[in-house]
Amino acid sequence: DPAMQDSLDAVLYGQFVPKSGLVYKAFEDKHIITPPLSKPDKDWLVVLGLDLHNRNPHGVVFMGLNKDDVWTVYDEIYEHCTIPELATKIKSKMGDRWPPALSIADTSSNEPQSTSGLTEVQMLTNNYGFYILPAHKDVDAGISRVMHLLLGDKPSLYVNEICRNTIREFKH
């Protein structure tokens, strides 16, 4: 299984394998949708991925899952803004698809802010009507799952070409 080869080498041969650099070597131009989608398909299950930060830019990916279990990252937000501004931007991009079927946040978002004492997730949940689940903490399992979605003649993960930050993350 190519998705697990680095981890196997680390366990079997004691090789150090950093969790940085080019992680998704299987990501290619065939995974990028051109021309760009203007909005999600009406039949997709819409899911948000949230990487919230107190001092760094927030990262939000808007994903759709179709009936054939194919994921499409169709939009993104990557910017430094307040939580009220972020909530407004997310709801604006979702339009009549609000609320998403599911929102998942990186667990690093669990640091309370010094001013409110609340985490970014708590602020979005309490003040803006989001329902957010914490992401699974098993990094190797997550990397393996994404690699499986990327592999094969007919991949199960695509990224809209307007999602430049997501594409950059995959390629570097």
pLDDT higher than 50, residue 3: no
Average pLDDT for residues 95-120, to the nearest whole number?
A: 88
User: Are the CB atoms for 97 and 119 separated by under 8 Å?
Assistant: no
pLDDT in tens, 109-167: 777 877 788 899 999 999 999 999 999 888 889 899 999 999 988 899 999 999 999 99
**d(C-alpha 157, C-alpha 147), whole Å:** 9
User: Are the CB atoms for 106 and 51 separated by under 8 Å?
Assistant: yes
Whole-prediction pTM:
0.85
Q: Which amino acid is at 101?
A: A
pLDDT at 80: 95
**d(C-alpha 36, C-alpha 7), whole Å:** 35
**d(C-alpha 78, C-alpha 86), whole Å:** 10
Q: What is the mean pLDDT of the chain?
A: 87
DSSP β-bridge partners for residue 104: 49, 133
Q: Counting beta carbons within 10 angstroms of the beta carbon of residue 47, is it exposed (0 to 12), middle (13 to 18) or buried (19 or more)?
A: middle
